[in-house]
Structure 1
Amino acid sequence: MSYQVVSFNHKNCEQIAREKLAFATDDEKRVMLLKLTGFDFIEEAYIVSTCNRVEIVVATKDSFSSYHAILGLLSLRSGLSFYELKGMDGRYDDGKAILHIFSVVSSLESIVIGESQITGQVKDAYRFSFQNRTAGRQLNRVISYAVKCAAEVRNVTNISKHPISIPSVAVTQAHKLYGDNISGMTAVIIGAGEMGLIAAKNLLRLDCDVLLLGRDRDKVKKIAKELGSNVRSDTMENLHKYLNRYRLLFSATSAKETIIKPSMVESDNLDRVWFDMAIPRDIDKMGLEKLQLFRIDDLKAISKENYALKEEQATRAVDIVEKYKAEFYKWLRALSIEPVIKDMRLQVKDAINKELNRAIDKRFVPLEYRDNMQKMAEQMFNRFLHDATQNLRQCSSESNSTKRVDAIKELFEITTNDRKVKKYKREHHVKGYQK
């Protein structure tokens, strides 16, 4: 079994292509996951689809076949050709896949290094797949180690001391443009999802008033109430009115088509600053002279200045990720040896029972001595096997251990079935991701 990641992200794939690849709804993800795991060679899969990346992560028996299956299915649903996708994707196999996943969850691959959203997004992606029975133990192990790695990155470095997400970069840019005059302004936020809420909270810290728009009147009203008295709410039906009243706007919906079009603007006399944080984009090409429009890829360019400030900490973080990758594979190898050791001990116990029964039947040993004799024999064999099992565990931690472990299995005629192996070091991979 191998791990594989096929990634389309802000580094290798333009926004327009990411829009076509994005999964807008849970139903779209579910259909794709079921198709992927319908192949005999793909055991598990999950999908990460955010404004900055679309990634498919699989546990596979055949990396060549799974890669071509992934690109083929993505081509069918996106309208992009197989060769177009092949020219812009990032493919990671085995160790490189683990390194990539750990780096993504630790926010080293984000547009803004150190932002905290991605950790939760990947955990949610795995949880969704688990609930739909398209992901299980194999990927659970990876996610659990990745989350531990991300926690150490945050604790050891200052990379997330002041976490910055796309919405907070947008708000910071608005603050730069308006200066202290932003205090008291009304900002329109379209979309009551996570990105909209982050933008709202950052704007409130700058003493802005917030107008929150959404499709569900009750939901938006409830969220506005929770955010405080400086937040009002309304439905999307009145979007046209607010576009022509207020100059500052942030949009982050899951709409499949643009929701703001040139025909909705009555006059170009108002200086406007708009931020389109959605994938696919919410705001159409406007052609307004007095409009400053920032899209996600624009925010990417703005955030580059943060890279220089975090470069040293990012280098330290990469070292941590490398360490966790090595520990993960060491743990996997240790996991594979436990069934072998268990089977060896079961064989010893079976041999003791057979020989004791034979000795009692032939009256070499009185029946009343059986328990004591069995205990003594087991202690002797445990003592005999102690050094051997310790050496096996030590051997399993080495990168070239596979042949030696296979030789032991052949020598003792041990056949292990991975699906029946009990979880080893349970604390590593049951931290709530299977709820």
Structure 2
Amino acid sequence: MSYLSISFTHKNTDIQTREKIAFSNESSVETFLKSVKADDSIDEVVLLSTCNRVEIMTTSSNIKQSTNKIFDTLAKYSGLDFDNLIEIADIYDNTGAIHHLFSVASALDSLVIGETQIVGQLKDSFRLALSKGYCGKDISKAMNYAFKCAANVRNETSLGTGSVSVASTAVSKAKDIIQNTQGVKALVIGAGEMSELTMKHLNKAGFDIVLISRDIKKAKMLVDTFDFEVDVQAYENLEKYLNEVPVMVTATSAPYPIIKEDMVKPCTFNRYWFDIALPRDIEEFESPNLQIYAVDDLQDIVNSNMILRAEQAKRAYMIVNQESEKFFKWLKSLEVEPVVKHLYKRADNVIEKKLENAIKKGFIKSEDEENIKKLCQTVLNEFLHEPTTRLKKISKDVECDIILGTVQSVFGLEGGSNSIKKCDHAIKFNY
């Protein structure tokens, strides 16, 4: 079994491409997972899709075959060219895949380093795949260790503090533009998690907030949880507020643009719209006195964020490196335990068989069986103590797989080594 990770992010993919490969609802995610897992080389799979990334994590018995299947399925889903997708993607296996997963969970691979939403999004994606039977024990091991790594990064660095999300970055940009926000209205579209975060940051920045959502009941329930005022408006008032309010942030899960050019009317003031959804909520167009910012347009604030967090990021990457190494040591220790268990089981079987034959042939009396059995077990336990102790220690060695395989072969033990080969680099395949 090998871990395989295929990654599309703001680092290797433009927003137009990310829109096409983004999964906007659970149904499309499940369809993709079902198709991928149908391949006999893929045992488990998880899909993460956010405004900045699409991550596909699998366990595979054949890396090349699995990679082909994933890209073929993704090409059909997105309508993009198979070869182009392979060319732009980052592909990792084993150690590289685990290191990448831990980096993603710890928000070190995010557009905004240290953003706090990614670990929750990863947990949601994992829970969905697990509940539907698309992943099991092997990815669960990796995910649980990734969440532990993310917690260590948060606890041991200051990366999780301050303005560290796409939503907060958009609001920060709006505040820098408006400067005096007192009495300035800001429109938020959508009542999901990202919109909730946006409103909290807008309130802190001093904006007066108007919320519009297709689900007005959900919007009102969300607003009731706040300790500040939000003006909830019906969705049919969207066009009206778009042309009256200077700042707008949209973060819906709509699979198509909800704001089109014909909705924009001429105005005498400047408007600043922030589209932090993917696929984007605003179709591409230009209009006088209107500046539209998509996720990738917030790079200047992100760069400042990187400079301020550089030292903390170094410490965080050290933690990720350490946790990745611990994870593989732990996996190796899991491989050793069954070998030791089977070794003792084989010894017990030999004792049982020889005692039974000895009694049948009259070499020993049946009433002495238990005492002789205990003596035999004591002798074998003492004999096997040193080799089994050494077996447990070799889980830290590079030669672990070879030694375990040899022991299993020599003693005829059950099963084979469920080894994971190490590969420290991202890989590209030639087709």
TM-score by length of 1: 0.92
* Within-5 A mapping of 1:357-376: 357-376=356-375
Residue 74 of structure 2 corresponds to 74
Corresponding residue for residue 334 of structure 1: 333
SS of 1:385's equivalent in the other structure is helix
Verify the 8 A CA contact 2:8 2:89 in the aligned structure 1: yes
Q: Which amino acid aligns with 1:15?
A: I
Deviation of 1:190 after TM superposition, in Å, equals: 0.2
The whole-number CA distance in structure 2 between the counterparts of 1:388 and 1:173 is 63
Superposition CA RMSD, Å: 1.7
Could you tell me which residue of structure 1 aligns to residue 234 of structure 2?
235
Shift of 1:153: 1.4
Greater shift after overlay, 375-384 or 189-198? 375-384
Q: Give the match for residue 176 of structure 2.
A: 176
Indicate how the Cα distance of structure 1 residues 390 and 183 shifts in structure 2: closer, same or farther if over 3 A, else same.
Answer: farther
CA drift of 1:163 comes to: 5.3
Provide the rounded CA distance (Å) in 2 between the counterparts of 1:302 and 1:236.
31
Range that drifts further, 363-372 or 44-53: 363-372
**1:385, distance to aligned residue in structure 2 (A):** 1.3
The alignment partner of 1:111 has SS state of: coil
C-alpha separation in 2, matches of 1:85 and 1:301: 27
- In 2, Cα distance between the equivalents of 1:155 and 1:240? 44
1:378 partnered with 2:413 = no
Q: Which residue of 2 aligns with 1:96?
A: 96
Q: Which runs of 5+ in 1 are unaligned?
A: 420-435
The superposition leaves residues 237-292 of structure 1 with CA deviations (integer Å, 9 ceiling, x where unpaired) of: 21012112211111001112211122222322122121111111111234222122
Counterpart of 1:304? Answer: 303
Superposed displacement of residue 205, structure 1? 1.8
Contact 1:182 1:206 in 2 (8 A): yes
The question of whether the paired residues in 1 share the 8 Å contact of 2:105 and 2:150 is answered with yes
Q: Is the 8 A contact 2:405 2:416 kept in 1?
A: no
Q: CA deviation at 1:235?
A: 2.8
CA distance, structure 1, for counterparts of residue 202 and residue 44 of structure 2: 41
The SS at the match of 2:194 is helix
Corresponding residue for 1:43?
43
TM-fit CA distance, 1:367: 3.7
Does the 8 A contact of 1:339 with 1:416 survive in 2?
A: no
Residue 272 (structure 1) aligns with: 271
Please give the secondary structure, in 1, of the residue aligned with 2:23: coil
Other structure's SS at 1:255 match: coil
Q: Counterpart of 1:56 in 2: which secondary structure?
A: strand
Q: CA deviation at 1:22?
A: 0.3
Amino acid at match of 2:205: L
Match of 1:145 in 2: 145
Q: Residue type matched to 2:374 in 1? A: K
Aligned partners of 2:163 and 2:169 also within 8 Å: no
CA distance in 1, matches of 2:160, 2:228: 30
Q: Tell me the equivalent position of 2:421.
A: none
The offset of 1:418, in angstroms, is 8.0
* Equivalent residue letter for 1:396: S
How far 1:301 moved relative to its partner?
Answer: 3.4
Q: Secondary structure at the match of 2:24?
A: coil
* 8 Å CA contact 1:268, 1:288 repeated in 2: no
Instruction: Name the structure 2 match of 1:216.
Output: 215
Task: Please tell me whether residue 348 in structure 1 is matched to residue 353 in structure 2.
Answer: no
Question: Matches of 1:301 and 1:33 in 2, distance apart?
Answer: 36
| One-letter amino acid of the counterpart of residue 379, structure 1 | T
Shift of 1:384: 1.9
The residue identity in structure 1 corresponding to 2:34 is L
- Matched letter for residue 137 of structure 2: R
Give 1:76 deviation, angstroms: 1.1
Whether 1:315 aligns to 2:297 is no
Matches within 5 A, 1:154-169: 154-162=154-162, 164-169=164-169
Residue 362 of structure 1, CA deviation: 4.6
Partners of 2:200 and 2:151 in 1: how far apart? 24
Worse overlay, 64-73 or 365-374: 365-374
In structure 1, C-alpha distance between the alignment counterparts of 2:364 and 2:207, rounded to whole Å: 90
Give distance in 1, aligned partners of 2:417 and 2:397. Answer: 20
Name 1:14's counterpart in structure 2: 14
One-letter amino acid of the structure 2 residue matched with residue 148 of structure 1:
K
**Structure 1 residue 116 corresponds to structure 2 residue 116:** yes
Conserved 8 A contact 1:48-1:56: yes
Offset of residue 363 of structure 1: 4.9
Q: Name the aligned partner's letter for residue 197 of structure 1.
A: E
Q: In 2, distance between residues paired with 1:388 and 1:163? A: 55
Identical-pair percentage: 37
Q: Distance in 1 between matches of 2:35 and 2:160?
A: 37
Amino acid at match of 1:393: K
AA partner of residue 270 (structure 2): D
- AA aligned opposite 1:300: Q
Shift of 1:120: 1.3
**Would you say the 8 A contact 2:275–2:292 is kept in 1?**
yes
Indicate the residue corresponding to 2:24 in structure 1. 24
CA contact (8 A) 1:188 1:250 kept: yes
1:364 is displaced (CA, Å) by 4.6
Partner of 1:125: 125
In structure 1, C-alpha distance between the alignment counterparts of 2:88 and 2:183, rounded to whole Å: 44
Deviations 1:41-64 (A, max 9, x none): 111111110000011111111111
Look up the SS of the partner of 1:278 in the other structure: coil
Whole-Å separation in 1 of the counterparts to 2:163 and 2:320: 19
| Matches of 1:333 and 1:49, distance apart in 2 | 31
Question: How many angstroms does 1:28 deviate by?
Answer: 0.6
Q: In structure 1, the residue corresponding to 2:224 is in which secondary structure? A: helix
Contact 1:71–1:86, Cα closer than 8 Å, also in 2? yes
| Structure 1 letter corresponding to 2:384 | L
**For 1:418 and 1:269, how far apart are their aligned partners in 2?**
71
For residue 401 of structure 1, report the CA deviation from its aligned partner.
Answer: 1.5
Asked if 1 retains the 8 angstrom alpha-carbon contact of 2:42 and 2:61, the reply is yes
**Cα offset, 1:84, TM superposition:** 1.7
8 Å Cα contact 2:203/2:228 also seen in 1: no
Q: CA deviation at 1:229?
A: 4.6
Q: TM-score scaled by structure 2?
A: 0.93
CA distance 1:15–1:251, change in 2 (3 Å): same
Q: Which amino acid aligns with 1:277?
A: I
Q: Distance in 2 between matches of 1:203 and 1:373?
A: 79
